[in-house]
Every structure is written in structure tokens, then in C-alpha cells.
Structure 1
Amino acid sequence: MKTDLPKTILLAEYAPPAYQVSTIDLEFRLDPHATRVTATSRFDRMAGAAADAPLVLDGAGLRLVSIMIDGAPVGPDRYDQQEERLVIRGVPAGFVLTVITEIDPAGNTALEGLYQSNGIFCTQCEAEGFRKITYFPDRPDVMARYRTTIIGDPVVLPVMLSNGNPVADETGPDGLRRIVWEDPFPKPSYLFALVAGDLALHEDSFTTISGRSVALRLYVEPRNADKCAHAMASLKKALAWDETAYGREYDLDIYMIVAVDDFNMGAMENKGLNVFNSKYILARPDTATDADYAGIEAVVAHEYFHNWTGNRITCRDWFQLSLKEGLTVFREQQFVADHQSAAVSRIHDVRVLRAAQFPEDAGPTAHPVRPDSYIEISNFYTSTVYNKGAEVIRMLHTLIGEDAYRRGMDLYFQRHDGQAVTCEDFIRAHADANDLDLGDFFRWYVQAGTPEVSVDTRHDPDAGTFDVTFTQTLAPTPGQPVKQPMVVPVRAALIGPDGAPLPMMLANEPADAPQAGALERVLVLSDRVTRFTFMQLPERPVPSLLRGFSAPVKLDTRAEDADLAFLMGHDDDPFNRWEAAQTYAIRVIHRLIADIGAGRPLVLPLEFREAFTRTITDDALDPALVAEALTLPGESYLAETMSRIDVEGITTARQFVRREIGRSLEPQLIALFDRLEAAEAGQPYAFETAAVGRRSLANLCLAYLGAAGGAAGLERAERRFATATNMTDALGGLLVLADQPGELSQPAFDAFYDRWKDEPLVVDKWFMVQATASRPDALDHVLTLMEHPAFSMRNPNRVRSLIGAFAASNPQGFHAADGRGYEFLADQIVALDAMNPQIAARLVGPFKRWRRYDDRRQGMMRAALERIMSRKSLSRDVYEMVTKSLA
């Protein structure tokens, strides 16, 4: 057991720094194993700090060469070099500090700070990576202007980049190139970036709303030069959209993006120099799926939007992380809704929330959108901070309206530009701009957990009234046993028997009230029980509640099956049409699980099959929405709907439904697939909504046909895989073949790898499809793949595509009754912790719900967690995740 326990950092203990930094001049002499960093910074004591306050600098894994203050050497008697601190005593009120350190980029397997991979020098400084470059107050509320000099061999490193604009570039008598970059905007150290290597340039330009020309530069490895066009187009869309939607104009002369293969995160918004995981930049129709194209457009926009919500205005401390991430995710979601299918993008938002954030809220690592403690900040880049944080902003937007929201954002930008601020500052800007009291709404930032809202309805035909009663509960979470009710905006409509929305007139409401008689209105819940009575309704309406998923809650409408089928066919809110289909499917699967437990024969209800048939045969519906509506809830989300997770029951029932749909609707599915395939035949690939929808629905039809195992479906899957001209269709065929016996699947896997073995991102897909395939030897196959020459534990994408995909997305294999999946994952976490603690900590996730399983599995998962904890050299990252999971 670990005895040297890591310290818990508390929000309540926040204190401003004793010294601020106004400027920092960095010089890097690049060398793979001995890069020398000279940092020269201007420090000034803060008002209120003690005159004898020591200078405390962060630093980790550094070789200290020398320290000088105002040009004079500082001897060892004046400083203490601790494990992750450098404390200098007797410093003046204002001074210039020069620190020289040496680091080993090539040996940096954690991919934090400055590292070298595939010959490319690259930085990742968020959250606390800058301390692995030099000694510095590595905290977001220390903001300085950066000037960076990079010195390197121009033959080996023809491209050398940093934040801001280049101000000098020369080659010295020693043959080394010296390039100087200057960033005019103060920023915290986590936004520093440096990249150097042999990179190809894809270039374009953008003219801002005020007429300035901005150079857009996208750098990739030379072999990827033909995969940049979509990312560049996405960037230009984002620049234009932010000017219109938020009034935000880009502020430098150059905007640069670099794509690298080895990167812990998806992307990083460093000021003027974004560093991306290549997964979110590189796209060509034959190597990237529609989902990849959509992800690139979203992530490129997200990182650009950080220029204002994260860079120009940043966080005071890391507890405020959602101030930039939740807000920027919401801005990204707005952008995507404007450029892709709004209905489908909203469904995807909610799928992510339910698959990742709802389990987080219900588990041992539950925390508020603004946490109040952490051990390792890297562990708090969570779905709660990002996705639930975005839902909080969306609720604010819903509650106060578009115009008021824009006034609040304008005031926020005006008031806090160039500052490091808090979540309270953000909410206060909206309150002040609109003369509102948002005190109760702020509970969404400080209370953890997912509110559960149950609905009771009562119709009185004689009085023509319809009562809707909402009851809100919020279960205890770690450290928060008692909760106050949340402010919950419920977008609602009442659907009449003819399928049309009805006017909504509340009892005792003036006829000229703002929402009186509207066909849709926002009902605001702020108490544990809230009742609304609607008038002039002689016939019982069907309520359509939480339209567009207007709040991140679990809603139990207690609707009858007939009402769900009615909403599937008539609701004018596309999200709620999808939601009705999901709720109906969950209900059917739960009943089948009960039948399995009781030993009863399994039968797919006729009403469910008929509703399914009506949907796929309705040519008037958007194919993309049909594909979403007819996609069954995933096994992970189904698990979240059970108090005790029945692994075998979920898998058996869900597979039965898929098989029965494919078998009983085979003629309709074949006809629809053939029609959709014919519509795409001969057409060049286009990432546009209609074409994406057709491909999505065709592949769904193929998946159901494949689940049934009929010859017609398998023949189409083999043909689609063999003849596809784009990766979306090829992968659609491969996914069907992957679940078939080896004589069908293995030749397809071999052919896929032979064709794409030189494309790392496509090889990631090859690993992922095999890791998630339904096969009795799933774990043994994963172990075999780990010995494949293309697999590397040092590449985060490869780890996620094989080990992470198996543990998170193959419940049948991972939760096999013998417990080998748990032992395997524990082994990989321990092995990874020694080289990349961030990636290792994220692999702990599948263990966090161990208490929700049967007694035997609980015991095996707990034993795996305890074995990890027994390691003496466990990182803070993994230690925090495991201790909280066991608590």
C-alpha cells in the first residue's frame, strides 16, 4: 500500500500568488536528450504579500544548471530544491530571475512538458506540464507576455514554431538557426507551446470582419499533406461563425495548427499555435469516416473558440476549469448545430452525456461542475466538467433567452478580457447584464449528481384541464449527503390527438403573458414539487417534455407504450421523437431481461416491431434522424438504467432484439439498403448532411441484417466492404463481418490491414473493431493483438483503440465471468502508469462502477483495484482514481 500519500488540493485554500510575472523570455537549445532551457522572467511582489515571502516555483524532472537574480548568481544557501518545488529566499520586491535547466525530451514518455516523438519536438503544458520545462509559478492566475527563442539544426528541424508572431529569424556562424516568436497577449504557462521538426505546410488565409488578413497555417508530417483540406475549411468556418454569433474577431497575424500522432489529449488551444492529435486533423474520404469528418469540424472549432473563452479570458485556478471548457463545448455544439444536422448533433450530445457523465454522477468519483478538491488535476478533465458544464450554459441560454444571453456574453468579454476569473464571475456578468438573480441557478456548479424528475399527469375532460406535476430528487454523492432542489428548465409542448401541438394556457395566467397560448413553452422547476395546470383542453393531450433535452436530468414521464409510439410518429421535436424510440426500446429490453431471468421464451412485442417498421418505411423522414431513432441504446447506457447490472441479461436481450429486427424486417431492410446504396453509387464523397444521413441509415440496415445472419445481409456486407470508395462504407461492412465466425471475419481483417498498414489512424480503427467485436475469445484476441508489430504502448491512440475500447465497449468480453478481463486491465494500468500516468488513470474508468455488479464480479473488480493500489510507486493520477473508486 502506498504510504507517502499525495496531498489533496482544496478550493477553500486558494490564495493568490505572492509574486506575479509580467514578462518571460525563453531560450531553447534543442537536443533530443539534453535540451537546455534558459528562462528570464520579471517578477514583482503582489500587494499584501509579506516582505520576506520566499519565491516558490514549480518544477518536476528538471536538472537545475544555474540561478541568477538581476544578473548575480544565487548560491545553494539561498534556495531549496525540493521534489517538485524550487524555493528561493531573500528576494527583492521586484527583480529579474534567470533559471537554466536541462531536460530530456526523447525520454519523456508521459508526453507532458517538452517531448520528442517521431523526430518532432512538441509541448503539452495543460494542465501542469510547463513545470517539466523550467522552474516557474505554473498556475493559471500568473499571466505573462512570452518571448521565445528556438535554436536548432535547420536541416533536422526546418520548422520551429511557438506562440504569437515571428519577429526574428537568422542562422548563426555555428550553422544553427535562431527564430524568435513574440506573443503580445499575457497568458498563463499552460498555454505555452513549442513545436519543431520536419513538417509540411498547408496554407490559406482569412479576412476578418474588420478587414485584417490572417495567415492560416496547418503543419503535418509530409506523408499527410493530402489530408488537410477539411481541417482548414473547418477552421475558416469557425473564424467566420465566431464573428457573427459572438462578435469575436481573431487577434494575431497568424493562426497555426500542428498535428502529431503521439498526444495524450484530442487537441490543445495554445495561443496562436494549437497542437492537435492527428486524429482530429487528418481526413481523406478513403481513410476517414463521416464521424471523423464531423469530429474534426467540431474539435477545430472548439480549439479556435478557446481563443476568447480560455485564452483571452482564462481560469483563476483549476477548480474553474469548466469556465473555459464547459462554455467552449457549448459554443462548439452551437457551431456544429449550425453546420451539420442540428437534430442529429443534439442527439449525439446527449448520447455522450448519458454514456459518460451520468455514470460519473452516479459513481464514486462524482463531483460538481466546479469541483472543490482534487489530487491530480489531469483527472478532472471529465465529462462532468466538459459535457455537463456545457449543459449548464445551455440551460442558462434557455432560461434567459438568446438576446439576454448575448448581452451577458458581451459584458463578460468586456469586463474580463485579459483576466483569470471564476465561474461566479461568468454568472455575475449574465446577471448584471440582464438585472437577474441567478443565485439558485449557481447550484448547478456546486452540487454533484443528476437530478431525477418524475412526472404525473391528470386530465379532467369536463373541466378541460390537464395537470402536470413534476417531482425532483437529487441523491447523495460523495461529500454531499444533502442537496437543494435545482433550477430545471423543461421545454414542453402538448400534442393533440391529430399530432399537432396545442396552445398552452396556464390556469390563472393573463392572456397577454409572454408565453400564454404558445405551442411550446419553458416550464421552470425550482422546488421539489412543481405543478402546472393547463386550460382549454377537452381532449387528453400527450405531453412532449424536456424537448431538445433542455436540462441534464433523468426524466421519468411514466408514459404508456402507446404514448411513446405516438410521439415516435408525431412529435414535432426531433429530439423527442428519438427519445420516445429510445425509451420504448429500453422498456422492451428490460422486459426481455426479466423474461430471461424467469426462464420465459423471448418474444419481440408486435407493437414495437410495428413502430420500427413505420419509421423505416416513412420516406418523408430525414434518413439521419431515422438512423438515430432506430439505433438501440448501447449496453453501457442500458447498464445505467439498472440498479444491479445484469451483464449477461443486457447482452442477450439486446442481441435478441437486433437479431429479431434483422430477421422479421429483412425485406424492408434490404429494400431500404439497396435504395440508399443506389442513391450514393457513382457519386463522389461529400461531407454534407443528406449524404451523411444516407450512409448512416444504410449502414444501420446492414448492421441489423448482419445480426440476423442471413445470406442476403452478409453478402451485402462483404460487397460493401470490398467495393467501398470511402471509409464510412468500408467500415460499415467490416463491422458486420467482425461479429461473424473467423472464416468470414479474418480474411476481411487481413485485407483491411494489408491495404492500410501505412496509415496509423486507419490501423487504429482496425484495432478498435477487433477489440469490440462479439466473440467468445475476445480477451485472447486482444492479447494476441498486443503482440502485433503495429501496437505500441507509447502511443495513446493505439492504447485507446485496443485496451481502452475493449474495456469500455466490449462488456461481454471485459465482464466475462472468469474475471480475466479485470486482471488484464489492472495489468495494463500498472504497466502504463510507469510511462504515461494520464493515460493509465483514464483506463481506471470501467472499474468505477464495480459496486453495481453481482457479488462475484464485485469481488473480482475490487481485488483488481486493490492490486493496483498495492504498487509502491503509483502516480498521483492513478492513485486518486483508484482510491476514490474503492472509497
Structure 2
Amino acid sequence: MKEAQPRTVYLKDYRAPDYLIDHTQLHFELEPQATLVKSTLGVRRNPAAESSGALPPLWLDGVDLELLSVAINGELVPAQRYRELPGGLEIDVPGENFELEICTRINPQANTSLEGLYLSNGMYCTQCEAEGFRKITYYPDRPDVMSLFTTTIVAPPTYPVLLSNGNKVASGTTDDGRLTVTWEDPFAKPAYLFALVGGDLQWVEDRFTTASGRDVKLQLFTEAKNIGKCAHAITSLKHSMRWDEEVYGREYDLDIFMIVAVDHFNMGAMENKGLNIFNSACVLASPETATDAAFQRIESIVAHEYFHNWSGNRVTCRDWFQLSLKEGFTVFRDAEFSADMNSRAVKRIEDVTLLRTSQFAEDAGPMSHPVRPDSYMEISNFYTLTIYEKGAEVVRMIHTLLGAEAFRRGSDLYFERHDGCAVTCEDFVRAMEDANGADLQQFRRWYSQAGTPVLEVTDAHDAASGTYRLTIRQFTPATPGQEEKLPLHIPVAIGLLDDKGQDLPIAEDGSGTVILHLTEAEQTFEFNQVATRPLPSLLRRFSAPVKLRYGYSDAQLQFLMQHDSDAFNRWDASQRLALNALSELQAQYRTGVPLQTPEQLIAGFRSVISDTALDPALVAKMLSLPSAQELAEQEGEIDAAAIIAARAFTRDALADALHDEFMARFKQLDIRKPYAPNAGDIAERSLKNTCLAYLCANGTAQALDLARAQLDRAENMTDSAAALAALVEFAPESEATTHLQAFYDRWQQDTQVVETWFGLQSSSANYGTLARIKQLMEHPAFEFTNPNKVRAVIAGFSARNFTQFHREDGSGFEFLADQVIALDKVNPQIASRLVTPLTRWQKYREEEGQKMRAAVQRVMESGELSRDLFEVVSKSLSTR
């Protein structure tokens, strides 16, 4: 049965399910083109159902299924008692309780959508969140139907590893020589958490002893060629398990925890109960093949999926509108874990950079939606930065408002009260209130109100009375469907610096940071005994996901860069100083005057690189210019050519003016020692390679020699990739091509490194031309059906190569439209995400914006679109 036509689903229309499934028995006979699935369901009338009177028919979701038989209580159901309809199966029921047996046949080999059951490099695997289970069998595929699952898998002996959720309870061999394994999950779960894997896999094994003394087996499964890349993920898993016990009091609850690495996967990973399935790029790492960023990303993602065992699995969401209930909370948890494992300041900077660059753009674009959306057409489109990253910021604000101890009391109550239940964002906030006697009524608006709030701050100092006043005005711009916005409850962390850069003791405990509770459209906060006018350090630790407007002078920003005790605000001051310079250079470019060297920025950056007491990781972040995408987000109207020119000029000016400083720090840090992915070593490599990039920007023979030498002797992928990136960007094209070919020849058998190789080229402003992108798509290692390869090449060009994608002739836009149209027939989820750079055409200058709009219009008119893609392009075209 094919999928239903696009329709809008509304939160206000939520109804409890008419029927519940107490137990689910699944029997799989795996064959590449004809897998048989038999489901046996214990069906029971839901006492909480809203319908009354005669028993309503049972509705089961189903897509792309071949129905073979339907039986109730052991007897075949006549055809007139069930109906195959678009999107599912409707069955007339015999009573309030019965056993339903359904047999279907599916084709995993043809399933390029990578939802449901599919094949990846000859390995069977599943992805059921959000609505993939309906591609396996007919079932009430919604998160508020929770069932106990028992799964039996039968397969030829060429698939010796057969896995599913829970604990293995039986295994054997059939009379015809096939293998059979049965798994039983003792915890009720919705269908989206079901998982199955079958393949010829190897594994590494470890043990973990919980706080209460239980022994847990840990296993990571992968193809034989990758077995040497598992150690970091296992270590990260054990660190995550211990952290969750210590910080949240959450122990693991099964006898075994399994991870499987899969090459073809739409997402980063999936938290299926006891059997996490990971995109290979997000779990496999060795020093030779993975960068520091990859090591840290793996640690974070492993933690995220493990933490879901409680915040997502044991307590799940009632409906998909509540998606941030599990994702926002868990992103906050994994961010705090990563901060504890590495540099807290740098982790915060990285998270806020993503928020400002991409989530703020999402808030201002056609797909803008609240953390808890009011409606959707395709739920896969709502796995967004708003749900995840802004959702995490909302949880972080609760943590800030209540304090760490009170937040822990609230989370304890939340888990205790709702264990085994499917609940709402409201239930989470209410647990926080009830555990602490708090009032978060106004704060709830963060869940229902879309858009990025803006804070406008002014101040005044009365020397005679020693009074300093901060006035803060808040407003949120209109978003699609929400013209009027109400004031939010916003925690604003601030400090006041004296003329020596010292914090004034403004908090009750005498410390230098205080949390202001902004609850009105405009409020004034007064500080007494302030003898001289202070310099405010605003929004410390980025205490709320807002845009801040305060009239800092360049001199004040440089002062904050040198003295602020809040590491995040020191970095933020460097970025604001850079944004000021880049904004002025854009204006110069548009008026045709020669671009002027930004002297204040150079002075500020010189003070940073010369400060050897600062954390090298923080220095590297402070020396990095805002990306072109960040600059675009700052503009009321985006002028791509001006952004490209201003950024290149500033980079070159800094490289020239600070050459000696960059060289000195590079040589200081360019030491050979065994690789370790610890915070200190990562920080040193980060700063060293930042200096190398600036040195190579001038294209001098000495600098390029440094890059060549590093590439030749590098014993880890971090240094190797950094040197290669510098040569690709700044060396002569023929030399760059030679280095790239040598790199590929060495690593062509390693899938993850080849993806790095693709990405280095596609995102290069100089090397990554459209002609070269098309060549890469013809390369034998490129697969149009592999999301990682598509992201590395096509998204690398459209989302990260601002210079080449925004060529004046619009060819980049036409190319992306072509790829989106083709990909929609193969993998709608990836197609709908890939089109994003085109959807904000309204923000660009008229001529370029119209070229982008024409590309979106061509996608819209290309034929029958998937629901995923139709929703995104239709909203883009309807937004003015």
C-alpha cells in the first residue's frame, strides 16, 4: 500500500489511540528482495480512548507493503472485513480484546529511503524513527502505543550475527540449515524504537559494572575492516554510563548494550532500546583516520544515544509534536557531558556558533516553528536545529533559573513519575515546578512561540548616587503563522567590569555574575554602590538563545577580549569586533571604495595570540573569523559578493599583519608526540593548525613548505587533513591535485577517510568549483544512494562553500535544484534537507534572490514530490 497524499497534521487534533498493543511478536525470514514478516499482536481497547459506543475499526499504518494474510484469534479474516487504504490498513474488530496476526512481504534491497528495513553493504538494518516501522509491517506506528516486543529472526548462515532489542533468549538452526535467534525486550516501547540487524559482522566486547553492582556486556559490531576503530566509542560509552549515574542517578537496565556501525544511514545514530544503530562516521575512529573533531563528535553522539535510554526510551514522547521532550533534554545532557570531558568554554562556543549560524536562520526562514510545533506535513522535516539545539537551550534556561540541585530534583521526579510512559513537554516542565515549588508558567511560552528573541540593552550611570541602571527591551519578530509575540521569561547572566577589567561583586554571594529575570517587554535593573561607570559583560555563558544589541565600541570589545572573566564572552567580543570590521568592509565593497585594513581587529587579535596564559583551544576560536554563513545571518539583506570579498580581504590582512605571531605560535606547538584525543592535546593541535591556515593564506613558499612538511610526516588525521586543506586552498592548483591524488591513493579503502577527502574539495573556496563537484560525482567512490557521500560532496558545496555556490551566474543554484529533484526519487529525507540553502532566497539581494527562487520553483514543478520535499519548497515559495 502506497503512502497517503500530503496533508497537514495538527497538535490540536491529537486523540488517544482507540486500541493498545500489549505484546508484539515479530517473526522475520530475511531475504534481500522478499523478506517475510509475521506480526502477532495482543490488541486491547484503550480505556482512555475518546470514542464511545460501537467499537471503531482498528487502524494500522503501512507503506510499501505486500499484504499476504490477516488473521484474528487464529482464523483468517475475510477480505470484506478489512480494507487496504492509502497509508494503512483498516480492520473490523470482533471485540475489545483479541490476537491479530498479519503477514507481509517487503523488499529491503529496493529500499533506498533507508527507512524501515533495508540493506547496507549486504547488511540488514533498520531505521524506524519517526515513521519507518510502517514500512516493515502494518502497525499503529505512533509513539503513544507502547508494547512488549519479542523478535525472532531467521536467516541464511551467511548472516551469522542476528540482533534485535533486549536480551537474547534463544538461538538455534532450522531443519534446512538457517540460523534463528529470538530476542526479548522486557521494557515496553513504541515501534519507532524497534531495531533489527543481520550481517557478517565482527565485534569488540567490554564490560561495565553499574553503581549497584550489576554486570553489563558492551558490544560494538562492524565490518571486519573497521574492527580496529572501535576502542574510542567503547571508552566513550563507559564514560557516558558512569557520568549518567553520577550526575542524574540513572543506571543502565539491561544485561547487554549493543552498538552497530552502518555505512548507509540518514541520521547520525538511533537510540533503539539496547541496540543503538550508528552512522559509521559517528562511531568509528582511529588516530590515523579520524580528526580531533571526529573523536569529540563520536564521544558526544555515543553519549547522546546512551542518555536516551532514560530521556527518550524509558520516558518517551506522547506524539511527535513533543519531539523536543526527548531530543532537547538529551542534547542538553550530552552537551554537559562533553563540557565535563573537554573544554567547557570551547564546547559552549561550538554549540552557540551552530545556533547562531543555522538555528537562528531556521527561526527566520520559511520552516520556522516553535520548539513544540503546532503542525507538520512530514515529521521527518522537524528533526531540526530548533527541536534539538534550541530545545536544549530551553532546558538549559530551566537549569539556569532553578540551579543545578533543583534541576536534579526535577529530573528525578520526572523519571520517577513518568517511567514507562509517553508524555509531553508540559509534563517535563511540571515536574520541574512540582519538585521545587517553582512557577514556570510564563517560561512555557518558549515551547509554543517561534522565532529568535532580540534584546536591546541601554545603560546609564549616576556618579553622584553611585547607581548604575541597565534597561533591557525584548521583542520577537513575526514568524509564519505567529504575528503577535508575548514577552518571554529570559534569564540574562551579566557581570560588570571596572576600569582594570575586574568583576564588581554584584551578586548576593559577592561573586561577579548575576542572573537577571527578564519577564516584561521592558525592564530596568538597578545596581548600587557603583562608583565609576562599569563596562557590562552581557549574556554570560550565552544564558539565553537570543540576539543581543548593545552599542559596544571597538575599544570596549577589545577590552572585553583581554579582561572578561567569562571565557564565552571573551570569544564573543572577538567575534563582535570581527563582525563590525567585516560589516564596514562590505559597505566599502558595495560603494566601490578601496577596502581598508581593519586596524582595531588586528590589534585585538594580536593581544589574543600573544596571551600564552589563555587556553589554546579558546585562542584558536577567538582567532577564527565568523564564517560566510554567520555573516549572512547578520545581514538584513544578504550581498553574497560583498561577504566573500570582505572576508577574504580580512583574512589576508590578518595573515600579513600577524605573520610573525602566527609563525611563533606555530613553531612553539609544532612538536611530535604520541597522539591522544585529550582536551589539552586537542587544544594545542587546534591552535597550531589555525596558525598554519593563516600562514598559508599569503601563499608564501615558506608557509606552504610548512604545510607540505606537516602533510608528509603527520601521524594523525587531524594534522594530515589540516595540512591538506591548507594546500588545497592556497597552493597552485596542479600541486593541490597531486596532493589530493596521493591522499586518495593511500586511503581509498577507508570509507570514512574518503568522505573526508570529498569534503575537503567540495568545501574549498578556491578548489571546489562546480566543474570539480561534477567530477567528484563521477568518481568511483561516490554513491548517490549513500547519504554520507551526498553530504560530503553536494552539501559540502551548497552549504559550506559559500564562494562557489554563490557564483554570480546562478549555476550553483541550478545544480543543487537538479540534485534535489533526482534525490527525491531515491531518498526524500535527504532531498528535503539538501534544498535548505535555496529556501531563504527572500533574504538575498534582488537579482540573486530571484535566481534562487527560480531554482526552488523548478523543484516544485518537477513532478510529483515526496511529502518531505513538498512541505519545504511549498513553504519557501509561499513566504514573502
TM-score calculated relative to the size of structure 2: 0.98
For 1:870 and 1:816, the matched residues in 2 are separated by 24
Q: Aligned pair 1:871/2:873, yes or no? A: no
Q: Aligned pair 1:425/2:427, yes or no? A: yes
Decide whether the 8 Å contact of 1:235 with 1:301 is kept in 2: yes
For 1:657 and 1:717, the matched residues in 2 are separated by 22
Indicate the residue corresponding to 1:592 in structure 2.
Answer: 585
The letter for the 2-side match of 1:774 is: A
Q: After the TM superposition, which of the residue ranges 714-723 and 382-391 deviates more from structure 2?
A: 714-723
* Aligned 1:135-534 pairs, distance under 5 A: 135-154=138-157, 156-504=158-506, 515=508, 517-534=510-527
For 2:715 and 2:753, the matched residues in 1 are separated by 15
How far has the Cα of 1:459 moved from its partner? 1.5
Distance of aligned partners of 1:516 and 1:240 in 2 relative to their CA distance in 1, 3 Å threshold:
closer
Indicate the residue corresponding to 1:770 in structure 2.
Answer: 761
How far has the Cα of 1:171 moved from its partner? 0.9
* Aligned 1:806-885 pairs, distance under 5 A: 806-885=797-876
How far has the Cα of 1:598 moved from its partner? 1.9
Decide whether the 8 Å contact of 1:776 with 1:813 is kept in 2: no
Indicate the residue corresponding to 1:46 in structure 2.
Answer: 46
For 2:611 and 2:405, the matched residues in 1 are separated by 38
For 1:630 and 1:317, the matched residues in 2 are separated by 44
For 2:204 and 2:147, the matched residues in 1 are separated by 31
For 1:105 and 1:284, the matched residues in 2 are separated by 31
Q: Aligned pair 1:19/2:22, yes or no? A: no
For 2:697 and 2:519, the matched residues in 1 are separated by 46
State percent identity of aligned pairs.
52
Decide whether the 8 Å contact of 1:472 with 1:528 is kept in 2: yes
The letter for the 2-side match of 1:125 is: C
The letter for the 1-side match of 2:548 is: L
How far has the Cα of 1:5 moved from its partner? 5.7
Decide whether the 8 Å contact of 1:199 with 1:219 is kept in 2: yes
The letter for the 1-side match of 2:592 is: G
1:134 to 129, 133, 137: 137
* Aligned 1:504-583 pairs, distance under 5 A: 504=506, 515=508, 517-583=510-576
How far has the Cα of 1:723 moved from its partner? 1.4
The DSSP-based 3-state class of the residue aligned with 1:353 is: helix
Q: Map Cα deviations across residues 401-430 of structure 1 (whole Å, 9 max, x no partner).
A: 111111110110010000000000000011
How far has the Cα of 1:776 moved from its partner? 7.3
Indicate the residue corresponding to 1:82 in structure 2.
Answer: 85
Q: After the TM superposition, which of the residue ranges 833-842 and 868-877 deviates more from structure 2?
A: 868-877
Indicate the residue corresponding to 1:625 in structure 2.
Answer: 618
The letter for the 2-side match of 1:708 is: N
Distance of aligned partners of 1:91 and 1:822 in 2 relative to their CA distance in 1, 3 Å threshold:
farther
Q: Map Cα deviations across residues 343-369 of structure 1 (whole Å, 9 max, x no partner).
A: 100101101111210000011110000
1:698 to 688, 691, 695: 688
Query: Which runs of 5 or more residues in structure 2 are unaligned?
Result: none
For 2:874 and 2:689, the matched residues in 1 are separated by 42
For 1:132 and 1:172, the matched residues in 2 are separated by 27
The letter for the 2-side match of 1:840 is: A
The letter for the 1-side match of 2:560 is: L
For 1:171 and 1:23, the matched residues in 2 are separated by 25
Q: After the TM superposition, which of the residue ranges 385-394 and 560-569 deviates more from structure 2?
A: 560-569
Decide whether the 8 Å contact of 2:608 with 2:619 is kept in 1: yes
Indicate the residue corresponding to 1:508 in structure 2.
Answer: none
Decide whether the 8 Å contact of 2:762 with 2:768 is kept in 1: no
Decide whether the 8 Å contact of 1:660 with 1:708 is kept in 2: no
How far has the Cα of 1:516 moved from its partner? 6.3
Q: After the TM superposition, which of the residue ranges 48-57 and 415-424 deviates more from structure 2?
A: 48-57
Q: Map Cα deviations across residues 466-515 of structure 1 (whole Å, 9 max, x no partner).
A: 1111111111000000000111101111111112100217xxxxxxxxx3
Q: Aligned pair 1:122/2:115, yes or no? A: no
Decide whether the 8 Å contact of 2:55 with 2:96 is kept in 1: no
For 2:830 and 2:140, the matched residues in 1 are separated by 25
For 1:338 and 1:524, the matched residues in 2 are separated by 27
Q: Map Cα deviations across residues 197-241 of structure 1 (whole Å, 9 max, x no partner).
A: 011111000000000000000001110000000000000000000
Decide whether the 8 Å contact of 1:471 with 1:530 is kept in 2: yes
For 1:777 and 1:804, the matched residues in 2 are separated by 12
Indicate the residue corresponding to 2:704 in structure 1.
Answer: 714
Q: Aligned pair 1:641/2:634, yes or no? A: yes
How far has the Cα of 1:667 moved from its partner? 1.3
Q: Map Cα deviations across residues 256-314 of structure 1 (whole Å, 9 max, x no partner).
A: 00001000100000000000000111111010000000000000000000000000000
How far has the Cα of 1:872 moved from its partner? 2.8
How far has the Cα of 1:603 moved from its partner? 2.1
Q: Map Cα deviations across residues 103-131 of structure 1 (whole Å, 9 max, x no partner).
A: 00011111100001211000000000000
For 1:374 and 1:796, the matched residues in 2 are separated by 24
For 2:208 and 2:654, the matched residues in 1 are separated by 50
How far has the Cα of 1:91 moved from its partner? 3.0
Q: Aligned pair 1:113/2:108, yes or no? A: no
* Aligned 1:677-826 pairs, distance under 5 A: 677-678=670-671, 681=672, 683-740=673-730, 741-775=732-766, 778-826=769-817
Decide whether the 8 Å contact of 2:454 with 2:546 is kept in 1: yes
The DSSP-based 3-state class of the residue aligned with 1:501 is: coil
- The Cα RMSD (Å) is 1.2
Indicate the residue corresponding to 1:92 in structure 2.
Answer: 95
The letter for the 2-side match of 1:118 is: N
Q: After the TM superposition, which of the residue ranges 738-747 and 631-640 deviates more from structure 2?
A: 738-747
How far has the Cα of 1:318 moved from its partner? 0.2
How far has the Cα of 1:517 moved from its partner? 4.3
The letter for the 2-side match of 1:762 is: V
Decide whether the 8 Å contact of 1:772 with 1:810 is kept in 2: yes
Decide whether the 8 Å contact of 1:55 with 1:91 is kept in 2: no
Distance of aligned partners of 1:42 and 1:286 in 2 relative to their CA distance in 1, 3 Å threshold:
same
Decide whether the 8 Å contact of 1:54 with 1:91 is kept in 2: no
Decide whether the 8 Å contact of 2:498 with 2:533 is kept in 1: yes
For 2:5 and 2:81, the matched residues in 1 are separated by 29
For 1:663 and 1:711, the matched residues in 2 are separated by 14
For 2:746 and 2:845, the matched residues in 1 are separated by 44
Q: After the TM superposition, which of the residue ranges 796-805 and 453-462 deviates more from structure 2?
A: 453-462
Q: Map Cα deviations across residues 774-799 of structure 1 (whole Å, 9 max, x no partner).
A: 12771111011111111110100000
Q: After the TM superposition, which of the residue ranges 577-586 and 853-862 deviates more from structure 2?
A: 853-862
Decide whether the 8 Å contact of 1:279 with 1:761 is kept in 2: yes
How far has the Cα of 1:176 moved from its partner? 1.0
How far has the Cα of 1:695 moved from its partner? 0.4
Query: Which runs of 5 or more residues in structure 1 are unaligned?
Result: 506-514
Indicate the residue corresponding to 1:510 in structure 2.
Answer: none
Q: Map Cα deviations across residues 566-611 of structure 1 (whole Å, 9 max, x no partner).
A: 0000001100000000000000100111111222222223222111
For 1:872 and 1:763, the matched residues in 2 are separated by 34
Equivalenced residues, count: 872
Indicate the residue corresponding to 2:669 in structure 1.
Answer: 676
Q: Map Cα deviations across residues 774-832 of structure 1 (whole Å, 9 max, x no partner).
A: 12771111011111111110100000000011000111111111111111101100100
